[in-house]
Structure 1
Amino acid sequence: MEKTTTFFDGFDGARLALHEMGAGRPVILLHGLFSSAEINWIKFGTAAQLAAAGFRCLMPDLRAHGQSAAPHAAEAYPSDVLARDAQALVTHLGLVDFDLVGFSLGARTAARSVIAAPPLQRLTPRRLVLAGMGLEGLAGWNQRLAFFRDVIDRFGTIRHGDPAYLSQQFLKSSGIDRAAVRQLLGAMEDTDPQALAAITMPTLVLCGDQDNDNGSADHLAAALPNARRATIPGTHMGCVTRPELGAELVSFLTASA
């Protein structure tokens, strides 16, 4: 299925890439850290599954990722910068009724977008999917921050067997601007579990059966007012390559209730 790519202005005018596939109900798909829309949603067929089910897949490359701008200046990375960019995308497209899906960093961004406090404007998707995410990944970001900063700072020296090795190799294959993404890491905030009460729309918490990278998906589902839990095969990085990911998204987003 054909993909188109355009560009839009982020919250501060940064040039951000938007990839689209399909026609129908809009669904925004936010990819993970060190990744891109191409790797997370397009390469392994997830977007094609959604498009075939009648969705217009809207897949931005997050700031400092993919074909989007990767500024180095600190002022380009204020608190909740990715939630600000997500709001800019919704405004740019004039979306009112849409669904929102995030994987890992994208899930963190999606959650922060829905519970955003002024001056940010909250996003109000009809349905929300938080994939590759657990409660501790939202509430304990500072621990994950230290891990990913270490991956960047030791890039090229991390050897097989080190817990950071796979993240280094993924970062190497994606060609991400390491200085830019290091700035981005510092723009994320811990999420108070009590704030999750604002996520009232139907929510799917979706994780691989070998994925505990961001803590407990069960704990996250239990903390949300209107959530259900689903499990697919795979590790944190491996589950995005599986057709079960797209199948679960289609099932949840097309459910009648």
Structure 2
Amino acid sequence: MANSPIEPQYFDSFDGQRIAWREMGPRDGGAHAVVLIHGFFSDAETNWIRYGHAAAIAAKGFRVIMPDLRGHGSSARPHDPAAYPPDALARDGLALIAHLGLTDYDLGGYSLGARTTCRMLATGADPRRVVFSGMGLDGLIAADRRGGHFRNILTNLGKHERNSPEWFAEAFLKTTGGDPQALLGVIDTFVSTPIEQIERFDWPTLCVNGADDDDNGSAAALADALPHARYVEVPGNHMSAVVKPELGQAIADFLAA
């Protein structure tokens, strides 16, 4: 766990929206960079830093770069629908890589961060290695299904049955201080990726998923669809796997191999 907060840095993305990112690990020229993207309703601090995942990866000598998605965390949270065109999150990710001048890097994400990683790969990113975490095949090829689930959560706040998946998601939203109106805009950015394109992804890939997590479909099926993928199971479901040290360790071991 980090002892003190990591202050964000900022840049202006493709449309002028201010995007925040945080870093951990060495920043000398010899350190290999890895860009890690958090999930929906979350942020870099919650997803990667709080439970030690970034520290585990940095301990292997990596420069860990963790943006806050638009509409989340320390990044801009505009309410104008025009700020959420399709693939805006992927365009932000590509703009960050260009801003930092990264030419040799790894790329990965958890849940929506994994879908954003997929869209970045589909639109020009060329990392050394890829990590899909908290993501199954259905979550990439049928993004609308999860979009509908989250739209229902955000438009019916305070009405969800106690202990239902929707209720837990709303509780998580409160802990991260999420902005419901901005997050509804984020849903409009979701884009599905055809299975034929995923089957052509030629990067060495880790698919790491909670043993009880099928929120985005089967991660094993995603690994089977990819030409060079390894599937690793860690304890937990979609909400709990991200707090387990096994998640960060699996990513660190894969990137360092």
Interval containing the TM-score (normalised by the shorter chain): over 0.9
Deviations 1:49-85 (A, max 9, x none): 1111101110000000001001111211111010000
**Matched AA of 1:9:** D
Instruction: Return 5+ residue gaps in structure 1 as ranges.
Output: 117-121
Does residue 166 of structure 2 align to residue 159 of structure 1? no
Contact 1:25–1:55 (8 Å) recurs in 2: yes
| Alpha-carbon separation, structure 1, partners of 2:164 and 2:231 | 31
Aligned residue in 2 for 1:51: 58
More deviation, 161-170/233-242: 161-170
Partner of 1:207: 209
1:8: Cα distance to partner? 1.0
Could you say which residue in structure 2 is the equivalent of 1:62? 69
Which residue matches 2:18?
A: 15
Q: Give the alignment of 1:1-257 within 5 angstroms.
A: 3-23=6-26, 24-116=31-123, 122-255=124-257
Listed as ranges, the gaps of 5+ residues in structure 2 are: none
TM-score (norm 2): 0.95
Q: Write the distance in 1 (CA, Å) between the matches of 2:142 and 2:168.
A: 21
Q: Give the conservation status (yes or no) of the 8 Å contact 1:34–1:174.
A: yes
Shifted more, 154-163 versus 101-110: the winner is 154-163
CA contact 1:30–1:101 (8 Å) conserved in 2: yes
Partner of 1:119: none
- Is the 8 Å Cα contact of residues 4 and 21 (structure 1) preserved in structure 2? no
Conserved? CA contact 2:34–2:63, under 8 Å: yes
Q: Secondary structure at the match of 1:169?
A: helix
Instruction: Name the CA distance, whole Å, in 1 between partners of 2:97 and 2:91.
Output: 10
- Would you say the 8 A contact 1:114–1:198 is kept in 2? no
Length, aligned pairs only:
250
User: Once the 2 structures are TM-superposed, how far is the Cα of residue 197 of structure 1 from its aligned partner?
Assistant: 2.7
**One-letter identity of the residue aligned with 1:232:** V
Q: Structure 1 CA distance, aligned partners of 2:99 and 2:233?
A: 34
Contact 1:34 1:171 in 2 (8 A): yes
Q: CA deviation at 1:144?
A: 1.0
The one-character-per-residue Cα deviations of 1:70-104 (angstroms, maximum 9, x if unpaired) are 11112111110100000100010000000011100
What SS class does the counterpart of residue 164 from structure 1 fall into?
Answer: helix
| 1:5 Cα deviation after fit | 2.0
- Contact 1:203-1:226 at 8 Å conserved across structures: yes
- Give CA deviations for 1:29-65 in whole Å, capped at 9, x if unaligned: 1000000000000000111111111011100000000
Identity of aligned residues (%): 46
Please provide the CA RMSD for this pair. 1.1
Could you tell me how far apart the structure 2 residues matched to 1:50 and 1:124 are? 20
Please list the CA deviations of residues 232-256 of structure 1 after superposition, one character each: whole Å capped at 9, or x if unmatched. Answer: 011111111111111101110011x
Does structure 2 conserve the Cα–Cα contact (< 8 Å) formed by 1:200 and 1:225?
yes
Normalising by structure 1, we get a TM-score of: 0.95
Contact 1:199/1:225 (CA < 8 Å) preserved in 2?
yes
Aligned partners of 2:214 and 2:238 also within 8 Å: yes
CA contact (8 A) 1:35 1:174 kept: yes
Deviation larger for 59-68 or 139-148? 139-148
1:20 partner amino acid: E
